Amino acid sequence: MLDRLRGWGWGADEATPTNAPPSISLHQSGAGDGHQWPAGRAADDGFASWARPAARISCIVCAYNEAERIRYILDAVYRHPWLTEVIVVNDGSTDDTEAALSGYPDVRLISYTPNRGKTHALCRGIAAARGDYLMLLDADLAGVSAEDIEALAEPVVSGRAEVSISLRRNSLALYRLLGLDFVSGERVIPAWMVAESDEAMERLPRWGGEAYLNDLIISLGLTVAVVDWPSVFNIRKYAKLGAWRGMVAELAMVSDALRVLSPLGVVRQNLALLRLVRRPPGQFRAGVAWRPIRSAASINMGLWPRWTFFRASSRGK
């Protein structure tokens, strides 16, 4: 698998970072901590009891013709106290995606034409980000809330894992059975992991980004938390484009994936990632994801958040 991946310009040697990840600590809510609440996110929004990460998190949303849907994800991330900035990369949209951002003046917009695919959009967003960590999100999500955003960041900022990956309600049944969606577009990664990766990513096909990030995670041996998103689903291409055009778009994605990883490579990458997944004690088995439950008492006492677990078979009920 690695030999094939190196053909696209990356491998373990190229992925070795030149700088170490930043240390992480949690700020407690309350006066005197020097934190300025972003405008529009007051304490009565339900955020006052949340521990806030000292490390900066840049949120990157890649969008192409998502004018009718992008508000769902932006409502969840906009002025979220855990996020330092929100960057939307408008990947050559031909609809009103850019105009849909007018209600979110603090969003950093990167816009260009023509459409060049998600991998290029990721490159542009990563290059512009200023955070210690990158939260990568797809623009076609529905059912996502501010609590889901916090849940995705929690394992990383608490130090329980180095990377987090979402498991959505409509992830493929096989992925839910395994307890890992290896092509999930929603994840949190350390910025240093991709600091020197722009040239390698630019040589990838339009949909090769997730496979590339997975290989970096595996090569560096970074621990992974799989975060359950039981109410979140991505809107399939057939729902956006119609049955025929949606099928063509899905086949194009599969074709790009097979240019990067062979079917055997997909299996090997999944197995390698599963070995890096860190689950709480007694939960080292497939079909179980984790999700933090905010506990004001435990946060105020300086304790780690409590965790609850969901079997794959019970998600979405």
From the list 265, 279, 252, 83, the residue with the least C-alpha distance to 165 is 279
Strand-pairing partners, residue 149, are none
Burial of residue 87 (CB within 10 Å: 0-12, 13-18, 19+) is buried
From the list 13, 12, 51, the residue with the least C-alpha distance to 30 is 51
The pLDDT score that the predictor gives to residue 172 is 84
Report strand pairing: 57-63 vs 85-91: parallel
Contacts of 258 (CB under 8 A, 6+ apart): none
The pLDDT score that the predictor gives to residue 157 is 93
Q: The whole model's pTM is what?
A: 0.74
The pLDDT score that the predictor gives to residue 279 is 73
Domains by residue range for the chain, with CATH: 2-15+45-294+307-312 (3.90.550.10)
Of the CA atoms within 13 Å of residue 74, those in its CB half-sphere come to 23
Classified as helix, coil or strand, 27 is strand
Strand-pairing partners, residue 26, are 53
How do the pLDDT tens digits run along the chain, 317 residues long?
433 333 334 443 333 344 444 444 433 333 333 333 333 344 345 443 455 667 899 999 999 999 999 999 999 999 999 999 999 999 999 999 999 999 999 999 999 999 999 999 999 999 999 999 999 999 999 999 999 999 999 999 999 999 999 999 888 888 889 999 998 999 999 999 999 888 888 888 777 889 899 999 999 999 999 999 999 988 655 556 567 765 666 666 666 666 778 889 889 999 999 999 987 654 444 444 555 443 333 333 233 332 333 223 333 33
Classified as helix, coil or strand, 114 is coil
* Residue 156 structure tokens: 């990383």
C-alpha–C-alpha distance, residues 229 and 217, integer Å:
21
**Rounded (5°) CA angle 2-4-7:** 110
Contacts of 195 (CB under 8 A, 6+ apart): 17, 18, 19
Contacts of 281 (CB under 8 A, 6+ apart): none
The pLDDT score that the predictor gives to residue 291 is 53
